[in-house]
């Protein structure tokens, strides 16, 4: 049984182990395991006195964080034994395959964080998992070991230091994407848009799911800060994982709203 | 059809301000999928505001605490959202606005007029935005001046949303009525706070905020009850309504219609469900008209 306050006030967790994945990415293992989490769900991470920000679960008991600004920098100052608050898990995750299905996982950058437990869960379910993993450079590739442990792995790097030189789409173009039953995508929005277009061209959008990133305030589907156009769907509650079909004609790749609600070009 | 300050509503449940009201598309979704009789926008002000740092909202056993801090893109940037809501919501769209003084309120109202909101709701009641909201709404002279200033520049109904965080809410209600308000809306959130005992930190980024949801319903019912007695203009009831029973109770206290905020947490279609529940109740009890139950509790002595 989870403590009653897991879904309400932030749960206090302590950091049990910190793994440096790359110079700007660290995994924080914490003292609680979300046994029923769906891969793709997120938690709201409260760095006390600073901010509370959404992070995908990279395992039942870890988040994997890229240092980009104030909250993530403060998190990087924390040591093993220090604590932070967690609310969640929230939102809708990636849909799991049945045994024997063919699954393609497409991860860019820190987008590998929520996709690594998905690839593992898909493997456990008896699916045939193949992953395309992209990053700027060889040293930035996340969780190569976890993805390759469950199936075939193709890698791309922007600078060509490992795998195909270029983007995940350069690898995808060489694959027969219509052979897969499910396609799960997460990464920077620019990358997801190019994947979206490619999958649309190949007419397989209805098999694809994308995990979106918008500014979250409440994280529980009430305030309306994270709604996308033109559906009005809430990324924090109706998502963050959406089917390709739900995103047809959407704001994806065009604009997002900032903390004030103003539209900002992607 | 229900009529509320001249607006035609298909049912007497409205979306409350600041909940799912940041974008035009979201307002349309609450109207169409949710079945709301009308929708109220996020409170819009004169300049862009990012709001308070997170955590800005948490769920409690008895309701919700929030301190959003009036995040809004300012009225020029909100026009495109209002345009979309007006075009596609299919129900009246009420613009909630705020400012620090009568001039700012009038500026924001005039600024939004080009997209023809069906009414304005003046937020003089947010408990956690310095210089705005309740800072205005606990001063009867300012409330009257703000209401009159907006009435001066618009020709649609003006509602004034009241804070319960005052010693006598009817004094503020009277001031709004004297300023020319067409209705009052009660209540905004009740001041509240939560502390994380593991660390001693207040949970909300703003340290304290406002309580909504189940816990505030009895507070709202009493405020509506008192305002119904004190005022000639309609009272719109809000605070902790999540079922048709809650809505009927609020109406018996004197509410001409109800707004629903926090309860969208459970389900989006809470509006159509409440609307249908009220209809069924009226039929079962043999009331010919919803007017028969508005303020009913006042007669039962
Ligand atoms: C569903 C979801 C899952 C995510 N999962 C991960 C993950 O597994 N690993 C990871 O490294 N990052 C993840 N992110 C992104 C992460 O939330 C931001 O990088 C983080 O909030 C940055 O905070 P900051 O204070 O360090 O940066 P800031 O300096 O505050 O801002 C940098 C950028 O971070 C984003 N950001 C800031 N605050 C928020 C907020 N409250 N909500 C959403 N975005 C915000 C904004 O786009 C901003 O432009 C996820 C985001 C979402 C929405
Ligand atoms: C997340 C959130 C944001 C809110 N923002 C506003 C706002 O911008 N303007 C306003 O007048 N009231 C705002 N309120 C108050 C609600 O409109 C409503 O008065 C209050 O929540 C009580 O109703 P409820 O119990 O149905 O939520 C907000 C409430 C919540 C929960
Ligand atoms: S962040 Fe509040 S509704 Fe999604």
Q: What is the secondary structure of B206-271 as a DSSP string?
A: TB-EEEESGGGHHHHHHHHHHHHHH-SS-EEEESS--SHHHHHHHHHHTEEEEEE-GGGGT-TTHH
Mean per-residue pLDDT, A93-120: 98
pLDDT at B136: 85
Mean per-residue pLDDT, A51-67: 98
Interface predicted TM-score (ipTM) of this complex, two decimals: 0.96
Task: Give the number of whichever ligand sits closest to the CA of residue A241.
Answer: 1
pLDDT at B135: 79
Q: Using CA atoms, how far apart are residues A210 and A228, in angstroms rounded to an integer? A: 14
Q: Per residue in B213-237, pLDDT tens? A: 999 999 999 999 999 999 999 999 9
Q: Which of B28, B126, B141, B223 is catalytic?
A: B126
Q: Are A45 and A86 in contact (CB under 8 A)?
A: yes
- The overall average pLDDT reported for chain B is 96
Chain A contact set for B28 (CB, 8 A):
232
Kindly indicate the confidence band of residue A4, based on its pLDDT and cuts at 50, 70 and 90. very low
Q: Using CA atoms, how far apart are residues A129 and A107, in angstroms rounded to an integer? A: 13
Instruction: Tell me the C-alpha to C-alpha distance, in Å, between residue A207 and each of A128, A178, A251.
Output: 15, 9, 20
Kindly indicate the confidence band of residue A7, based on its pLDDT and cuts at 50, 70 and 90. low
Ligand 3: centre distance to CA A214 (Å): 9
Whole-prediction pTM:
0.96
pLDDT at B285 over 70: yes
> Measured between CA atoms, how close is B38 to chain A, in angstroms?
17
Question: Residues B64, B66, B67, CA angle at the centre, nearest 5°?
Answer: 170
Closest ligand 1 atom, residue A75 Cα: 26
Mean per-residue pLDDT, A149-170: 96
Mean per-residue pLDDT, B13-35: 98
- The overall average pLDDT reported for chain A is 96
Q: Per residue in B114-170, pLDDT tens? A: 999 999 999 998 777 667 767 788 999 999 999 999 999 999 999 999 999 999 999
Ligand 3: centre distance to CA B257 (Å): 26
- More confident position, B137 or A256: A256
Q: Are A259 and B51 in contact (CB under 8 A)?
A: yes
Task: Give the number of whichever ligand sits closest to the CA of residue B17.
Answer: 2
- B196 with A257: Cβ contact below 8 A: no
Q: Are B216 and B187 in contact (CB under 8 A)?
A: yes
Give every CB contact of residue A260 below 8 A, 6+ residues apart in sequence.
B48, B49, B50, B51, B71, B72, B73, B74
- B199 with A83: Cβ contact below 8 A: yes
Q: Per residue in B28-43, pLDDT tens? A: 999 999 999 999 999 9
């Amino acid at each position: 049984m989870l403590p009653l306050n897991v879904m309400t006030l932030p749960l206090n967790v302590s950091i049990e182990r910190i793994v440096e994945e790359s110079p700007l990415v660290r995994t924080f293992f914490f003292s609680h395991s979300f046994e029923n989490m769906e891969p793709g769900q997120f938690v709201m991470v409260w760095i006390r006195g600073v901010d509370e920000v959404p992070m995908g679960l990279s395992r039942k008991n870890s988040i994997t964080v890229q240092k980009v600004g104030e909250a993530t920098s403060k998190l990087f100052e924390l040591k093993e034994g220090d604590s932070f608050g967690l609310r969640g898990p929230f939102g809708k995750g990636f849909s799991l395959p049945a045994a024997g299905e063919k699954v393609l996982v497409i991860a860019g950058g820190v987008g590998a964080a929520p996709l690594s437990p998905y690839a593992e869960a898909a493997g456990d379910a008896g699916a045939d998992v193949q992953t395309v993993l992209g990053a700027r450079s060889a040293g930035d590739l996340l969780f190569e070991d976890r993805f390759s442990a469950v199936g075939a792995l193709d890698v791309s790097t922007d600078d060509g230091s490992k795998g195909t030189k270029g983007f995940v789409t350069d690898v995808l173009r060489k694959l027969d994407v219509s052979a897969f039953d499910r396609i799960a995508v997460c990464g920077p929005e620019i990358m997801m848009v190019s994947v979206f277009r490619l999958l649309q061209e190949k007419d397989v959008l209805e098999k694809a799911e994308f995990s979106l990133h918008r500014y979250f305030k409440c994280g529980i589907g009430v305030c309306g800060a994270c709604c996308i156009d033109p559906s009005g769907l809430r990324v924090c509650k109706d998502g963050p994982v959406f089917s390709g079909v739900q995103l047809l004609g959407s704001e994806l790749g065009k604009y997002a709203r900032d903390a004030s609600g103003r539209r900002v070009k992607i | 059809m229900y009529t509320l300050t001249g607006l035609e509503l298909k049912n007497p449940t409205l979306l409350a301000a600041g909940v799912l009201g940041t974008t035009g598309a979201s307002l349309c979704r609450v109207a169409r999928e949710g079945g709301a009789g009308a929708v109220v926008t996020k409170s819009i002000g004169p300049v862009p505001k990012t709001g308070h740092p997170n955590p800005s909202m948490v769920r409690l056993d008895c309701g919700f605490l929030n301190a959003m801090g009036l995040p809004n893109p300012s009225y020029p940037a909100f026009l495109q959202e209002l345009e979309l809501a007006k075009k596609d919501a299919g129900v009246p769209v009420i613009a909630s606005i705020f400012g620090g003084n009568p001039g700012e309120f009038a500026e924001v109202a005039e600024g939004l007029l080009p997209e023809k909101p069906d009414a304005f709701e003046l937020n003089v009641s947010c408990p956690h935005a310095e210089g705005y909201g309740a800072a205005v709404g606990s001063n009867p002279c300012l409330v009257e001046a703000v209401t009159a200033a907006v009435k001066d520049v618009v020709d649609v109904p003006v509602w004034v949303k009241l804070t319960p965080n005052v010693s006598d809410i009817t004094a503020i209600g009277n001031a709004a009525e004297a300023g020319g308000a067409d209705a009052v809306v009660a209540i905004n959130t009740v001041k509240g706070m939560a502390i994380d005992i593991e660390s001693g930190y207040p949970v909300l980024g703003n340290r304290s905020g406002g309580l909504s949801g189940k816990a505030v319903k009895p507070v709202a019912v009493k405020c509506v009850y008192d305002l119904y007695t004190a005022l000639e203009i309609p009272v719109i009831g809000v605070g902790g309504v999540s079922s048709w029973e809650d809505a009927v109770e609020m109406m018996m206290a004197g509410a001409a219609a109800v707004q629903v905020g926090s309860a969208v947490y459970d389900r989006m279609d809470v509006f159509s469900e409440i609307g249908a529940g009220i209809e069924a109740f009226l039929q079962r009890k043999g009331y010919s008209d919803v007017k028969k139950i508005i303020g009913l509790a006042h007669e039962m002595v």
